[in-house]
């Protein structure tokens, strides 16, 4: 799928991996609407993006993925402004084992919420143009991250939801592909000041740091390149693309 003229929505698009996804999609010709709760980071990013890509190809909408009302309003505004949605990147996420219900609410429920609202605009059966949904999961969606059980559960949920939606969409002819990207550790704010974020598992910080030292720290742009691949390669549906020290690899799941 060529991205020129396509309309993409990126949640958590103001910082870290979401920012890199936004920049990569813009470089590839897409128009990008970023949804985020961090208005100051988003506005400063937008100032920079306007200088490079002009004012017409980016829009920031303040929105928490925890609110169905706000997500609905943001996606409706996207459609009213740009005529439709072709790509949804459900990327917003947090690490907070102390506030574990909020972690599930953003990392898993936010992905489901964003997907279901976007389906109303993207589904070919209801007048949409079809397209692709790419969810930012994690390697912690494939195996256990010992200091972060709830984060791990939320990301396993994202991988399972993505794969089931891919199968449902194919069987129902929605015209939408669903894929997940599963990075290892990425240099962003999410992995700073982590002792506090680990809650009752803060005693496992050293073990986590050891795991981090064994795995190469990734740049956000490496994850964004995988998202671009999942967006443009129309043969990919129901895939989990792992990106880690050794490069990238499509995950093989047991066949039932
Ligand atoms: N940094 C890492 O090592 C890894 C991160 N990930 C995942 O990548 C995604 C992005 O994380 P990073 O870029 O690392 O974090 P980050 O903290 O740098 O960026 C997250 C962005 O999401 C926004 N956000 C947070 N809560 C939100 C909400 N309720 N609604 C809308 N926006 C919200 C933040 O304001 C921020 O702009 C997350 O889903 C995370 O779990 C996956 C694997 C590794
Ligand atoms: C297959 C085993 C799981 C490997 C998971 C690998 C990386 C996942 C990273 C993330 O999704 C980022 C989330 C959490 C990082 C948690 C803690 C970092 C601690 C760093 C520190 O203490 O400085």
Q: For residues 96-124, give the mean pLDDT.
A: 98
Which residues line the pocket of ligand 1, CB cutoff 6 A? Answer: 11-12, 14-18, 35-38, 41, 64-66, 91-94, 106, 136, 138, 183, 185-186, 188-191
Per-residue pLDDT at 246: 87
Measure the CA–CA gap between 196 and 254, rounded to whole angstroms.
37
173 Cα to the center of ligand 2, angstroms: 36
How many other β-carbons are positioned within 10 Å of the β-carbon of residue 42? 23
What distance in Å separates the CA atoms of residue 140 and residue 147, rounded to the nearest whole number? 11
Nearest-angstrom CA–CA distance, 238 and 159: 9
Structure-token match 């692709």, residue found? 132
If you take atom 30 of ligand 1, which residue's CA is the nearest one? 64
Average pLDDT of span 35-52: 98
| Ligand 1 atom, smallest distance to 15 CA | 37
**φ, ψ (nearest 5 deg) of residue 127:** 95, 0
The predicted pLDDT at position 256 comes to 80
Close Cβ partners of 206 (under 8 Å, ≥ 6 residues apart): none
Of the bound ligands, which one is closest to the alpha carbon of residue 142? Answer: 2
Extended beta strands in the chain, E state: 7-11, 31-36, 58-62, 87-90, 131-136, 176-183, 240-244, 247-250
Is residue 226 very low, low, confident or very high in pLDDT (cuts 50, 70, 90)?
A: very high
Coil/strand/helix, residue 81: helix
Distance 44 CA to ligand 1 centre (A): 17
Structure confidence by residue, pLDDT tens digits, 46-91:
999 999 999 999 999 999 999 999 999 999 999 999 999 999 999 9
The per-residue pLDDT for range 149-197, each reduced to its tens digit, is 999 999 999 999 999 999 999 999 999 999 999 999 999 999 998 888 9
Q: Which ligand is nearest to the CA of 108?
A: 1
Classified as helix, coil or strand, 256 is coil
| Whether the model pTM is above 0.95 | yes
Q: How far apart are CA 208 and CA 156, in angstroms?
A: 18
From CA 146, how far away is CA 102, in angstroms rounded?
19
Domains assigned to the chain:
7-242 (3.40.50.720)
- Decide: 95 in ligand 2 pocket, CB within 6 A: yes
């Amino acid at each position: 799928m060529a991205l020129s003229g396509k309309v993409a929505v990126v949640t958590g698009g103001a910082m870290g991996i979401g920012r890199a996804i936004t920049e990569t999609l813009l470089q590839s010709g897409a128009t990008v609407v970023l949804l985020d709760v961090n208005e100051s980071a988003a506005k400063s990013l937008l100032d920079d993006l306007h200088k490079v890509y002009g004012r017409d190809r980016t829009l920031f909408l303040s929105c928490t993925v925890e609110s169905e009302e706000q997500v609905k309003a943001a996606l409706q505004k996207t459609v009213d402004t740009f005529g439709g949605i072709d790509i949804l990147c459900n990327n917003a996420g947090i690490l907070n084992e102390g506030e574990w219900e909020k972690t599930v609410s953003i990392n898993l429920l936010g992905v489901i919420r964003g997907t279901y609202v976007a389906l109303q605009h993207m589904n070919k059966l209801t007048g949409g143009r079809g397209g692709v949904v790419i969810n930012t999961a994690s390697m912690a969606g494939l195996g256990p991250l010992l200091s972060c059980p709830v984060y791990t559960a939320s990301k396993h949920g994202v991988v399972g939801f993505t794969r089931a939606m891919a199968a449902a969409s194919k069987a129902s002819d929605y015209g939408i592909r669903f894929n997940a990207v599963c990075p290892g550790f990425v240099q962003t704010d999410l992995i700073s000041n982590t002792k506090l974020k680990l809650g009752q598992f803060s005693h496992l910080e050293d073990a986590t740091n050891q795991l981090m030292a064994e795995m190469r720290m990734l740049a956000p742009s490496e994850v964004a390149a995988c998202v671009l691949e999942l967006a443009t390669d129309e043969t990919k549906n129901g895939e989990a693309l792992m990106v880690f020290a050794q490069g990238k690899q499509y995950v093989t799941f047991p066949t039932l």
